[in-house]
Amino acid sequence: MSFVRPEVRAALWRWREVLVALALALLGIWWVLTGGLLQWIGVALLLAAGALAVAGVQRGRFRGAGGGPGVVQVVEGQVSYFGPLTGGVASLSDLSELRLDPTARPAHWLLFRPKEPPLAIPVNAEGAEDLFDAFATLPGLRTERMLAELRHSAHPVVIWQRRSQRSEQLRLH
């Protein structure tokens, strides 16, 4: 028997890194205020808590409600999606483009690979939160832009494209 409503439990779990960072920050403040050797350890703990809070906010913004169709697994740079109607496997090293399609219901990540159809993964599929770390390994991916597009985009948008695929622009210098 639980005394916490499922919605509250889900919200706490979504923001778990931020809550841990808050607890570490409180401990760090307490140690800073006590003085002595613990004061310096408290300062280091405050810095670590700040870094964890920044990463936790990004992860919390990426995580969806879950409960969507299919299951996502990320193992050693390989994304696998097992859905009720579709599925597939994509290696992160083979990706040529990553798109977000918010017009699909639910919204989908589209992983493009050369000479293969795109792998469509619902943003709320079980395990889709693991895609944050997977996408973060893509060279040149702007995490904040991805998070902004995830929350506010109304049309399909390219989130990341391999440098060799980008159109070359003329430069003056």
What's the pLDDT score for residue 1?
63
- In the predicted model, what is the mean pLDDT of residues 100-106? 91
What's the pLDDT score for residue 142?
92
What's the pLDDT score for residue 173?
55
The 116-122 sheet, strands edge to edge = 116-122, 108-113, 97-101, 157-161
What's the pLDDT score for residue 2?
75
What's the pLDDT score for residue 171?
55
Query: Using CA atoms, how far apart are residues 123 and 127, in angstroms rounded to an integer?
Result: 9
DSSP-H helix ranges across 63-142: 131-136
* DSSP string across 55-79: HHHHHHHH-----EEEEEEEETTEE
Count Cβ neighbours within 10 Å for each residue of 129-162 and write b for 16 or more, e otherwise.
bebbebbeebeeeebeebbebbeeeeeeeebbbb
For the chain, the average pLDDT equals 89
Query: Using CA atoms, how far apart are residues 12 and 52, in angstroms rounded to an integer?
Result: 16
How does pLDDT run across 3-54, given as a tens digit for each residue? Answer: 888 888 888 888 999 999 999 999 999 999 998 889 999 999 999 999 999 9
pTM attached to this predicted model = 0.74
Chain length of the chain: 173
What's the pLDDT score for residue 44?
95
- In the predicted model, what is the mean pLDDT of residues 49-71? 88
Query: Is the bond into 106 cis (omega within 30 degrees of 0)?
Result: yes
CB-CB contact of 90 with 78 (8 Å): yes
